[in-house]
Structure 1
């Protein structure tokens, strides 16, 4: 729904399977169940793609809008819906006066929903930059771990209608994004999604993955400590193979 042509290449979606919580063969087991939502097409480049079959207005609400809709920001959100104010991204930009003043001006710019058509906006304007920040904010909000690799975003850059050098947005707005360069991989995370290094509202799938990781790690630790912990079936099978070789 955020794509310019309402279409996403299957190759790009496959790279994002882990981040979006999709099954390995989602195009075979998941998409056929929702034919009123999606359809398979050939993109102009010739690659297979997934196209939105029908627009559902109830899904065209960004995470920033939902966050402001309730709680303490309820009144401000109602003013935003009436066109009387704008929505602000999470703050946290240091103590420098110049930076604070610049960010206050940025926050006052109109909030453009990532689900709105942006082709009429000047691509070199500050408004388009805020719209790009909103798109990246929403995309990361949709991921399971509130983060993804920069290269995965690059493959969707044109469809998301974000600038060619979009990486600078992550360093330009450190109160919104966190950029990691660990393991020679550039990963971008949504800063508000974490508190003291842990997810604020973990997705149920995150808990399942953590349990699986714990089981696998515990098994590796035991295997390294004592060969007597190898299952009895494996020992019997190995003895049987040795006896055959002796004959």
Structure 2
């Protein structure tokens, strides 16, 4: 694999130097005078706002479920504020959702706010655990294996992987669970320099070294014309095009169209190939970096993650120091959101009409979390909505949840109607020139920071 990869890179560089088939790959980008406005997408911003609450509820649920006593004082959860990404205090968040978190007096200190899991939260916790177990040895293992295959050392520290746990759909005990479930792929080790625990790849599964973009174009790659084009290159050297969904007005710009056509004609060097021999200032390397970031987001359950989490992978993935410019230079592929006092990167192709295109089973369980949260939300000054959630209506199981007063059925038809009304954001892009604070970026200039990351 390494020999074929080095042959590919050497051959491309030779062609570039000779100015032959791929000689134009190192040409400098000519589109330097186009100035584009940063465009806000209300539908994707709504999804990020909603998913922030879902993630916070799931992480708080995990913290309470892990307590031997079954309850946790609120002050013990306060240090999680930054990790949760909440813009409100943890105590206020817990009290906002009584259908998930039950407040009770502390056994020894009655005035200390303490929380346990409500029956609906316990039910959803069991369903989430079942989803983890079903996907651990196959789907989740393959996601992590592909991430390690993109890393230069074929290993990543647990400190780097833990922030990505929720996005990759991993259980809290994944450092021990993954090597136990797939010893043929993973092992725990220590970094020689500082002894930090690492999750390492034990073998190179060739069948996993296929990117999401290659899978999308697999029918095209199988055509005879592409088979001839690939020789003597590897299969990843074909000029594959990324799916584009430009903000309103961008796609009709002639210069942008011409630039994107040139970009798509560049050969695609897979994120699983060794690209260390490519010129870091070349357009070919830039397309490779776009491919790495595209693949990383494709591995996530919700096709998005925080920019800070990606920054922690920068050296291992061979990303440039200021890689944020890649997101702003390719607004048809990526979307940067500044919601919730952080910067989130979204893969545009992952969403249509405010919903995930490919619904992972774990994402469906998390949607149930949001429905239960919203049906029992406590609005300030309006009192508490009390519910009786029938378990068989909620998730198809036969027992009822007791101790509440008003019955609400949660069948699929009702939840779909609720989702259409409350959860589905539009894909409409909003030009921020409508606001007083306009933000601009240029295609060739670096954007150091678009927002401050909190977590």
Structure 2 distance, partners of 1:92, 1:227, is 42
Question: How far does the alpha carbon of each residue in 1:198-242 deviate from its partner, in whole angstroms, 9 at most, with x for none?
Answer: 11111111111111221233234597135999x659xxxxxxxxx
Secondary structure of 2:384's aligned partner = helix
Gaps of 5+ in 2: 1-148, 232-237, 390-401, 405-455
Alignment root-mean-square deviation, CA: 2.6
Question: Normalised by the size of structure 1, how large is the TM-score?
Answer: 0.85
Equivalent residues in 2 for 1:122-201, closer than 5 Å: 122-201=279-358
Equivalent residues in 2 for 1:93-112, closer than 5 Å: 93=246, 94-112=251-269
For residues 78 and 197 of structure 1, do their structure 2 counterparts lie closer, same or farther at Cα, with a shift above 3 Å needed? Answer: farther
For residues 220 and 62 of structure 1, do their structure 2 counterparts lie closer, same or farther at Cα, with a shift above 3 Å needed? Answer: same
Structure 1 distance, partners of 2:276, 2:150, is 12
Secondary structure of 1:50's aligned partner = strand
Is it true that 1:88 corresponds to 2:237 in the alignment?
no
Is it true that 1:50 corresponds to 2:199 in the alignment?
yes
Structure 2 distance, partners of 1:228, 1:107, is 55
Please tell me whether the aligned partners of residues 140 and 148 of structure 1 are also in contact (alpha carbons under 8 angstroms): yes
Please tell me whether the aligned partners of residues 65 and 77 of structure 1 are also in contact (alpha carbons under 8 angstroms): no
Please tell me whether the aligned partners of residues 69 and 77 of structure 1 are also in contact (alpha carbons under 8 angstroms): no
Q: Tell which has more relative contact order, 1 or 2 (C-alpha 8 A, sep 6+).
A: 2
Equivalent residues in 2 for 1:1-20, closer than 5 Å: 1-20=149-168
Is it true that 1:66 corresponds to 2:223 in the alignment?
no
For residues 156 and 39 of structure 1, do their structure 2 counterparts lie closer, same or farther at Cα, with a shift above 3 Å needed? Answer: same
For residues 55 and 74 of structure 1, do their structure 2 counterparts lie closer, same or farther at Cα, with a shift above 3 Å needed? Answer: closer
For residues 24 and 75 of structure 1, do their structure 2 counterparts lie closer, same or farther at Cα, with a shift above 3 Å needed? Answer: same
Structure 2 distance, partners of 1:81, 1:114, is 22
Moved over 3 A (4+): 73-78, 219-223, 225-229
Among 208, 229, 233, the alignment partner of 2:365 is: 208
CA displacement at 1:99 relative to structure 2: 1.4
For residues 135 and 221 of structure 1, do their structure 2 counterparts lie closer, same or farther at Cα, with a shift above 3 Å needed? Answer: same
The worse-fitting range, judged by mean Cα deviation, of 175-184 and 75-84 is: 75-84
Question: Normalised by the size of structure 2, how large is the TM-score?
Answer: 0.47
For residues 78 and 64 of structure 1, do their structure 2 counterparts lie closer, same or farther at Cα, with a shift above 3 Å needed? Answer: farther
Corresponding residue number in structure 1 for 2:445: none
Gaps of 5+ in 1: 234-247
Structure 2 distance, partners of 1:31, 1:81, is 41
Corresponding residue number in structure 1 for 2:385: 225
